[in-house]
Amino acid sequence: MASALEQFVNTVRTLSSHGNFRELCEYLSKSSEVLVKNTQHLDNVLETLDIQQHSLGILTVLCAKFSAPATTGNNAQDNRFTQTQEFILNCNGEHIRLAPDTFAELCHLLTNYLVEQKQPLKGICILEKAISKLRLFDSQLTSIHADLCQLCVVAKCFKPALKLIDIDITGICQEVSYI
């Protein structure tokens, strides 16, 4: 692993373990360029981070993987889907609510990827889980709702979208970092 990525991992681990999430979010917002430049090593970075303890770091790495130009073929793209699916299903909800804008961006990148791959059905359950992790109450609207509706329309599988539309919305998720 390149030394810049080693520093990234060490910083994420240290700041997370000390509960310095404000400083961690500031650091992560400045790390995207380094991550995108070292795309070939990002799988190693993901392997060294714990999904519950380092959810914010993993979130940033996954966004970088989707933002980087795809050069390694289908295996890397399948890898991105699988890694994102695992992250959304298992991430620390408290952590991702500290960076809801980044979490929503990852869901948007996943949606675009699945639409391009003509596999929208694969993302419906994942985005339902993402919505439940991000929102604070059932009647809260998030931008991920739009991504889920897009996947439902493209997949011609309307029932999950109808469940969302049938709820009376009483709040809107403010997708700005809270730290």
Whether residue 71 is predicted with pLDDT greater than 80 in this model: the reply is no
Whether residue 78 is predicted with pLDDT greater than 70 in this model: the reply is no
Tens-place pLDDT, residues 139-176: 999 999 999 999 999 999 999 999 988 889 899 988 87
Higher pLDDT residue, 166 or 78?
166
- Is residue 1 classed as helix, strand or coil in its secondary structure? coil
Taking CA atoms, 171 is separated from 82, 93, 108, 139, in Å, by: 31, 19, 21, 6
Q: Which residue, 92, 124, 88, is CA-closest to 105?
A: 88
In eight-state DSSP terms, residue 174 is: -
Domain ranges of the chain: 3-172
Residue 36, judged by CB atoms within 10 A of its CB (0-12, 13-18, 19+), counts as middle
Can you give the pTM of this predicted structure? Answer: 0.92
Q: What is the pLDDT of residue 179?
A: 45
Q: In the structure encoding, which two tokens stand for residue 71, read together?
A: 């050069």
**CATH number belonging to domain 3-172:** 1.25.40
